[in-house]
Amino acid sequence: MSRPSSAAHPASGPWPLLVLGSTSRYRRELLERLRLPFVVASPEVDEQPLPGESPAELALRLALAKAEAVAALMAVREPGRDVVVIGSDQVAELDGEPIGKPGTHERAVAQLRRMSGRSVVFHTAVSVVRPDRGLRHTVIVPVQVRFRELGDAEIETYLRLDRPYDCAGSAKCETLGISLLAAIESDDPTALIGLPLIATSRLLREAGVDPLQMLATTGEARP
């Protein structure tokens, strides 16, 4: 089931219930920056890639699948309630292959050694679904990340300090991982962390949920 965000409570009045279809604390913290009332629900989606599916195609498909899965869940939990669901997924790509979350220290070491001195593309997709209006919009935001040449000692030091084992690519750019990088190229600066807020805000407006209007009418627009 869903649970309230730590930042806000579900919207009341004419606004739909906003739902983040993700258990990622990084995405929750990013969405909280918009100061919108929302709840969080866990999508039940098989994240295995399909045969021949590119990393970008995988991210797009999973973002929409997560949003639709949570929309179906909310239809059961909150029948008749107008909801807007945000789904997102990120897949890193190197040499045309997806790079997942390492999960362990050893896999993180192997990932960073492989990416040392090279460019990796992080495909971050976001989908906004509003079933009552038949709206389903999905976009993808690519981020090109160039790693500097990394030695084994600094890889080991970084991993012991930041422990980024739940992050694709084994680096947290919002913390110490930025020291591993030579450059980041993107039109949407939060995309690399996991939720492109420029694209998300645009899709929300297209779905009839303007963040600034919502804050003004729910009494959340305060200093």
Please identify every residue annotated as catalytic. Answer: 89
Residue with tokens 């009332």: 37
Diameter over CA atoms, the chain:
57
DSSP string, 124-186: EEEEEEEGGGTEEEEEEEEEEEEEPP--HHHHHHHHHHH--TTSTTS--TTTGGGGGEEEEE-
Q: Which residues on adjacent β-strands are paired with residue 18?
A: 84
Q: Quick one: tokens of 4?
A: 């309230």
What are the C-alpha distances in Å from 14 to residues 128, 214, 219? Answer: 19, 9, 13
